[in-house]
Amino acid sequence: MIRAVRPDEVDAFFDLTLLVDLHMPADQLPALKDTIAAALTDVRPPFSHGLNHFLFATLDDQPVGAVHVGPARWMLDRSIPARIRRALVEKVSSIDTIAVHDDHRRQGIATAILSRVESDFAAAGYRALALRHEHRMRHFFTAHGFTSLPRLAVDLGPAGLFTEYDREWKYAVKPLDPAVTFTTQRGLHVLSGLLN
């Protein structure tokens, strides 16, 4: 079963999140947990927690998998005009963390979580899902319809081309709307049609 994470389950959610290499110094983890705890108190629609989706996959009512999906960090970049940042928040979201307990891997749990996330965001009118992933996870995401890229490149219409690169990560994007496509610009595989 896949269900929303309750505010009193922050410890269980955080424990599952730590199964993923967050590429974060240990001294920053308490602040991350506080941020998650605060976000879990926001139960406004459209998703489980406002613009964020915190979900558990459970077996016998015990959490064995978790996902957090919310506005992508790159959309906060000040080089993107504020009006476009606001529009992007309602058109694209980012899978920040997806984790499955070691004892329950290779049982289709991550696939079920991903399917639920895609369904929920498509139903809410989002045009694409994005994420950063470790290089070793490329096959998992491409097998589920994501395009994995060494650099994120997004056509922001009149604001031009936005790109982000981090050598430790790959970027993956999955269009949820047929109007969103990939084009080639300046030799890059570019996500287009988000703002139409």
Check whether 190 has a pLDDT greater than 90. yes
Per-residue pLDDT, 72: 87
One-letter-per-residue 3-state SS of the chain = CEEECCHHHHHHHHHHHCCCCCCCCHHHHHHHHHHHHHHHCCCCCCECEECEEEEEEEECCEEEEEEEEECCHHHHCCCCCHHHHHHHHCCEEEEEEEEECHHHCCCCHHHHHHHHHHHHHHHCCCCEEEEEECHHHHHHHHHCCCEEECCEEEECHHHCEEEECCCCCEEEEEECCCCCEEEEECCEEEEECCCC
Instruction: Compute the mean pLDDT over every residue in the chain, rounded to the nearest whole number.
Output: 93
Q: What is the band of 64 on the pLDDT scale with cuts at 50, 70, 90?
A: very high
Task: Check: pTM over 0.85? Answer yes or no.
Answer: yes
pLDDT band at 114 (very low <50, low <70, confident <90, very high): very high
